[in-house]
A and B are shown apart, each in its own frame.
Chain A
């Protein structure tokens, strides 16, 4: 029966289905996005795979076009639909307008799609939040976040999924001009943010970057390990300095 809406208002003005969808998002694995000066970084918590499972088929960071990519938190199956539609829209835009999409345009498209599902017969909202990153034609880096209700906002850095609040607080404290001064620093900030909530370190982190005028690059586990070791060394050095200060 498609004549009844599933998402209806409650007496006090809530759309419960949308809020439940947001709960589903909170159960998904963490994803963090950072907007640097010449680089945008996406990091996700990799769920541990079963022994017999092929690791490579579990990908949470997807390219939408050469210059845009997204990570999501929530229902993977829902995300697949959204990503497919977004990919088609990126190409349609190139066809009709003869220009690549801006990050804002494709975010708006995804958000409009999500909103439509909160106001349709017989459909439930998408259970995902997405972090969409990329560069516009004029070289400006962008980071947007969408949520199941269909709203979208631009961010300098954000996190979604499990323990997103913790990660966001960490970012609020540590996202400074100098912390994103170089590409490497921005990547390290993303890893540091994820390490707050991910157990057992670098093995469970998946990282992707887009640099201006380059396509999406997924970092190999070796690179991540190197960076993690670097970070841990820096932490030790910090701790040492503090001890010395205290003792003197």
Chain B
């Protein structure tokens, strides 16, 4: 199995019976609010109206997590280049998904707006924290930045389960690399490992769009990796439904000589603007700064507070 080869252990048995019940003690296929789906299983979020055991044709109100999200990351380097990536699965890039897969994709928390500009002080990572299911806001306090290890961060866009599972697996691989080779893994290698891991499951319904950010001996590193198999290096990426708004703000504000505080403020402002206009982004703005010593959590601010802060001077 691809996963056991990834884990390189015969004892890792990830085969799932379809009969096994997931969290909440519900029968699989019926009410399934869990995040415990295994790779290969179709993520199934369905609240079944109390009809018969007829799963397929009965009227179902599915919990849909739209990929409302805005995740943003940018490197601040000598030459500024802010690349915000729009990871809008609903639009363009999405291949034709069946309604099931649509669900799986929709099971993304509001794609936080992650701006990752490169700058000489490292990488700034800013994300929102909203998860939606259709018009329903499932959570306003989702952690969309996954701390792989003290000097590597991963952002989450797409399926929450997929992102957190695979990034934790990546953390394990990174640690093993560190122990075997007596030196930290490079950001390029870490992102390559992740990309290769999920590529084995290409076409099986994984949904993950993540940015691997870190600092290694080559300086700040920023890679976008997704479950399609894309892996690109860049200076600025914004991913999610709110990414367009973020791009606008960052592109107009990015300069070569930003200080750390200015860059953080830029990231914060960009996410705020995205949450202002994008219905599927909101909650709080989580800001991280990746520098040569590792990453630091800069701030977590509620969008409403930021709203008052920015709107106040206008009055």
Tell me the A residues contacting B by CB distance below 8 Å: 96-99, 102, 105
Contacts and interface: CB of A to CB of B under 8 A. Distances in A.
18 contacts: A96-B189, A96-B192, A96-B193, A96-B196, A97-B185, A97-B186, A97-B188, A97-B189, A97-B192, A98-B186, A98-B188, A98-B189, A98-B192, A99-B186, A99-B188, A99-B189, A102-B181, A105-B181
A193 B36 CA distance: 65
Contacts of B188: 97-99
Contacts of B193: 96
A6 B181 CA distance: 32
A93 B186 CA distance: 13
Nearest to B182: A104
Top 9 A-B pairs, shortest CB-CB distance:
A97-B189, A98-B188, A96-B192, A98-B189, A98-B192, A105-B181, A96-B196, A99-B186, A97-B192
Nearest to B185: A97
A144 to B, nearest CB: 15
Given A97-B186, A102-B181, 12 more contacts: A96-B189, A96-B193, A96-B196, A97-B185, A97-B188, A97-B192, A98-B186, A98-B189, A99-B186, A99-B188, A99-B189, A105-B181
Interface residues of B, number: 8
Nearest to A95: B192
A25 B111 CA distance: 61
A102 B189 CA distance: 15
Contacts of A97: 185-186, 188-189, 192
A220 B189 CA distance: 40
Nearest to B181: A105
Contacts of B189: 96-99
A105 B189 CA distance: 15
A222 B257 CA distance: 59
Interface hub of A97, A99, A102 (most chain B Cβ within 10 A):
A97
A98 to B, nearest CB: 4
A170 B196 CA distance: 50
Contacts of B181: 102, 105
Contacts of A99: 186, 188-189
Nearest to B187: A98
A97 B187 CA distance: 9
Nearest to A93: B189
Nearest to A105: B181
B115 to A, nearest CB: 25
A99 B189 CA distance: 8
Nearest to B191: A98
Contacts of B192: 96-98
A230 B181 CA distance: 43
Interface string B179-210: 00100011011001100100000000000000
A105 B182 CA distance: 10
Q: Which of A98, A99, A102 has the most CB of B within 10 A?
A: A98
A173 B186 CA distance: 42
A105 B188 CA distance: 18
Nearest to B233: A98
Interface string B147-189: 0000000000000000000000000000000000100011011
A99 B184 CA distance: 13
Nearest to B183: A102
Contacts of A98: 186, 188-189, 192
B126 to A, nearest CB: 27
A98 B186 CA distance: 9
A235 B188 CA distance: 53
A99 B196 CA distance: 16
A137 to B, nearest CB: 9
A98 B196 CA distance: 13
A99 B218 CA distance: 11
Contacts of B196: 96
A97 B188 CA distance: 7
A98 B181 CA distance: 15
Contacts of B185: 97
A156 B192 CA distance: 35
A35 B181 CA distance: 22
